[in-house]
Amino acid sequence: MAKKTIMLVCSAGMSTSLLVTKMQKAAEVQGIDSDIFAVSASEADHYLASKDVNVLLLGPQVRFMKNDFEKRLEPKGIPLEVINMADYGMMNGEKVLQQALKLIGE
């Protein structure tokens, strides 16, 4: 299984850092080779240009940016979804990881 690059985008990149840690632990337990990281919305384009991102998840607080990101990601073929509010609130790394893997087609 190839390495999965999962990018989370939130308003400042801070609130999702705990979620990233929990997702990394869940991936490790499942033996999934992954690169999971969080960035602020303003940094997203830089990372999309410099990394081979498999899936992008938006934090619930930036769901209003979904249409904008869809336009940018469509030519690259990168799937996009808003993180489930309950899973985000509970910092459920396992569920959010599953959401990302499902979008990638794993």
- Report pLDDT digits (tens) over 28-57: 999 999 999 999 999 999 999 999 999 999
- Per DSSP bridges, beta strands 80-82 and 55-58 are parallel
Domain range for residue 67?
A: 4-104
Residues 50-103 pLDDT 10s: 999 999 999 999 999 999 999 999 999 999 999 999 999 999 999 999 999 999
Q: Residue 86 is part of a domain; what is its CATH number?
A: 3.40.50.2300
For the question of residue 71 being annotated catalytic, the response is: no
Q: How many domains does the chain have?
A: 1
SS (H, E, C) 79-106: CEEECCHHHHHCCCHHHHHHHHHHHHCC
Per annotation, catalytic residue among 6, 9, 10, 82? 10
